[in-house]
Amino acid sequence: MTTQPLVEARDVRKHFGAQHVLIGIDLQVQRGEVMCLLGPSGSGKSTFLRCINHLERVDGGRIYVDGELMGYEEHGSRIREMKPSQIAAQRRGIGMVFQRFNLFPHLTALENNTEAPVGVAGRDRAAARSRGMELLARVGLADHADAYPARLSGGQQQRVAIARAFATDPKLMLFDEPTSALDPELVGDVLSVMRDLATSGMTMIVVTHEIGFAREVADQVVFMDDGDVVESGPPHRVINDPQHERTRAFLDSVL
């Protein structure tokens, strides 16, 4: 057994011009752990999530996934950005689910789930199709395999997106407010799929405003504001007994 965290952020900083979005994030996520990131809009949660798989370049610090520096190569005390092909190879081990589904509109639910395994990972198409059907069944959509995204509800599209993110057998799943674009009556099905993933032992980092989900599923809750970690710990402490006034004010506003 290794004690090395699956994800480790060290003094991660990010700015857009004069706006400092992340001002020195230090976090660790252990294997099999679910971390939920809470905080107001603009606090840096989604930016940090995108930095993990190098969809955003960091301006300082380091992010390691499974002991590997993400997006960069170290040369002594200096780092150099990897080639796009190297970054793409790193991303294969990380699944990401976005707010707006990002499905390919011209592909069916099943085709959305086979495109990456075949085109990126080079898997046999028949095997990828079989695996895609398994994943659609896992999210309760086996009978919608031939449906195009326009024919699916928002909740169904998001469940297809979760299955697609899982199609390359990632070691880490990132969720960027996966229920924020859904009508309230559709949220439950998506959260149910995420609960099942957590129960299976998948390591997950979830940006969410679903406090009940965080309280029930998270091993670690992190409250961020103004690009910094204000408070972190198990959900029973951060959510039920927050120590910082900024955390208390935020929870009072959303609960």
**Among the ranges given (120-124, 135-139, 251-255), the one the predictor scored with the smallest mean pLDDT:** 120-124
In a domain, 211, yes or no: no
H helical segments located in the chain? 45-52, 84-91, 109-119, 125-138, 154-166, 184-199, 211-217, 235-238, 245-254
pLDDT of 33 higher than 60:
yes
In a domain, 136, yes or no: yes
**Among the ranges given (7-11, 73-77, 81-85), the one the predictor scored with the smallest mean pLDDT:** 73-77
| pLDDT tens digit sequence for 137-189 | 999 999 999 999 999 999 999 999 999 998 888 999 999 999 998 988 889 99
In a domain, 245, yes or no: no
Q: What is the per-residue pLDDT for 137?
A: 94
Only one residue has tokens 């032992």, namely 201
In a domain, 70, yes or no: no
Q: What is the per-residue pLDDT for 121?
A: 65
Residue 222, exposed/middle/buried by CB under 10 A (0-12, 13-18, 19+)? buried
Cβ-based neighbour number of residue 15 at 10 Å: 14
In a domain, 83, yes or no: no
In a domain, 156, yes or no: yes
Give the total number of structural domains in the chain.
1
In a domain, 109, yes or no: yes
In a domain, 131, yes or no: yes
Provide the pLDDT confidence category of residue 2 given band limits of 50, 70 and 90.
Answer: low
Only one residue has tokens 């707010």, namely 99
| pLDDT tens digit sequence for 215-236 | 999 999 999 999 999 999 999 9
Q: Which domain holds residue 114?
A: 104-169
Cβ-based neighbour number of residue 86 at 10 Å: 13
